[in-house]
Structure 1
Amino acid sequence: MDDIAMRAPLAVDGLSYAYGRKRALDHVSFSLAPARVTALLGPNGAGKTTLFSLVTGLFDSRTGRIRIAGHDLRRERSRALSDLGIVFQAQTLDLDLTVERNLRYFAALRGLSEREARKRIAALLEQVGLTEQRRHKVRSLSGGQRRRVEVARALLDRPGLLLLDEPSTGLDIATRRWLVDEVHRLAHEDGIAVLWATHLVDEVRAHDDLIVLEKGKVVARGEVERVVHDTRANDLNEAFTRLTSARAEEHL
């Protein structure tokens, strides 16, 4: 791993993982740049969620290395995870607490002072358009509103790296559009490195960075326009189909 990769918001080197005899990831390597959205594109079962489970420390692998903001996840777990914000595919809010209480609880876990937490929560709720719902129980919110709370929670302690695992699942069109726009704004204006796992090509913009994962292997990597060009495709949808179909045919 070179010096640039070691200082990257996220650097993954030679990472493998298996469930018994089934290999979910096979020597995956990449690094992210700050202030960029990187789409982790792959069909269901490609290994995206396994990769996220390893990067967030939920799983561990002795094969390969993960560094977050220069800190080795295995050796400096607390320091590495302190720079990480995440929005999981599955909902993880306490439904019986209010929006504000959910955020206050998380802020305490992350070590924010009461004064700083109050300031950040107010700013983030305004940012995601939920100031008026701050005292509502999460159970009363729509699915889109709950996702907005989770985005606010992920940003509470100003992470340098934001992970989103299929975050638009089940969202209405308007909230999905808001999420895509907001995440790109966060990257470009706040300098956050974003890794967005999805299987939906319409969530990816032309100037995003791209990692295509298929059957646990990285089959393409680079700026979206470059990947499309290199696969001699007309658009990302066609490029994605060619890349994943080619891998599928290799396993027939």
Structure 2
Amino acid sequence: MTALVIDNLSHGFGARQALSQVNLSVEPGSFTVLLGPNGAGKTTLVSLVTGLYNAQQGDIRIFDHSIRRNPLPALASLGVVFQMPTLDLDMSVEQNMAYHGSLHGLSRREANERAGEELDRLGVGDRSRDKVRSLSGGMRRRVEIARALLHRPKFLIVDEATAGLDVAGRQLLLKHVRSLCSEGLSVLWATHMLEEVDPADQLFVLHKGQVRWAGQARELASGRTLEAAFLNLTGHAS
């Protein structure tokens, strides 16, 4: 069963058309990249898939559950890391994790056990009692990844999670999330950074609200650099 199917999706804000007839799919256990320059419509698409907005046209299905017709089981399968940080800065890491767990019906004990496991895997387990405000930007992002995985979703959506991080921080998050695909997790990774794309990734290039290319990343590059191919698609090639 396909993790995500977006069918003929369009959405606008007043006179501005943010997305136009977008078609996209994510296969189970795959790492799929949604690549586009700033303003391409990536965050709008993530907001529609996660139920923050209601799509004006088209259908979104998560593991065959329509967001429009059957939202609860669709959204229950999701873990999300939004572009804007959403941790409570004045709560500790473990309090943030416990609160998220309670929203998903986990007992305090179960939430604490799972939180310990996920935080340890991301190298921040020793900061669980610290207030989020005291953490660096990279550590906060690791906590957000751990929190998104707390309820053991089948599908993870990550929107520009590495923006503002140094190279080492970006590589750590990417390596960890990619490794989760081998455990069966499906991932949609939205980014504007070409260096985060691997040749084997399934790739969708979004520009001005439209999918300009879909396929394996190495096929887009084919005989030239990925950067040159991307610039050509988005109209900025020299």
Q: Which bracket does the TM-score occupy, shorter chain normalised? A: over 0.9
> How do residues 228-239 of structure 1 correspond to structure 2 at under 5 angstroms?
228-229=221-222, 233-239=223-229
Alpha-carbon distance between aligned partners in 2 of 1:172 and 1:30, rounded to the nearest angstrom = 30
Structure 1, residues 42-74: CA drift from partner, whole Å, max 9, x if none?
Answer: 111111111011001111113100011111001
2:114 aligned to which of 116, 120, 125: 120
In structure 1, the gaps of 5 or more residues are 1-6
TM-score of the superposition, structure 1-length normalised? Answer: 0.91
Asked whether 1:218 is paired with 2:211, we answer yes
Aligned length: 238
Conserved 8 A contact 2:94-2:112: no
SS in 2 for 1:23: strand
Report the RMSD for the aligned CA atoms in angstroms: 1.4
Cα distance, 1:113 vs structure 2: 2.3
Alpha-carbon distance between aligned partners in 1 of 2:194 and 2:226, rounded to the nearest angstrom = 7
1:243 aligned to which of 230, 233, 238: 233
| Residue 30 of structure 2: aligned partner | 36
> How do residues 109-188 of structure 1 correspond to structure 2 at under 5 angstroms?
109-187=103-181
Asked whether 1:90 is paired with 2:84, we answer yes
Alpha-carbon distance between aligned partners in 2 of 1:240 and 1:8, rounded to the nearest angstrom = 27
Alpha-carbon distance between aligned partners in 1 of 2:150 and 2:35, rounded to the nearest angstrom = 27
Asked whether 1:18 is paired with 2:8, we answer no
Alpha-carbon distance between aligned partners in 2 of 1:162 and 1:58, rounded to the nearest angstrom = 16
Cα distance, 1:153 vs structure 2: 0.4
Cα distance, 1:114 vs structure 2: 2.6
Which deviates further from its counterpart, 111-120 or 132-141?
Answer: 111-120
> How do residues 42-121 of structure 1 correspond to structure 2 at under 5 angstroms?
42-121=36-115
Cα distance, 1:176 vs structure 2: 0.9
Alpha-carbon distance between aligned partners in 1 of 2:167 and 2:89, rounded to the nearest angstrom = 23
SS in 2 for 1:194: strand
In structure 2, the gaps of 5 or more residues are none
Aligned-residue sequence identity (percent) comes to 49
Structure 1, residues 163-190: CA drift from partner, whole Å, max 9, x if none?
Answer: 1111111112211110111111111x21
TM-score of the superposition, structure 2-length normalised? Answer: 0.96
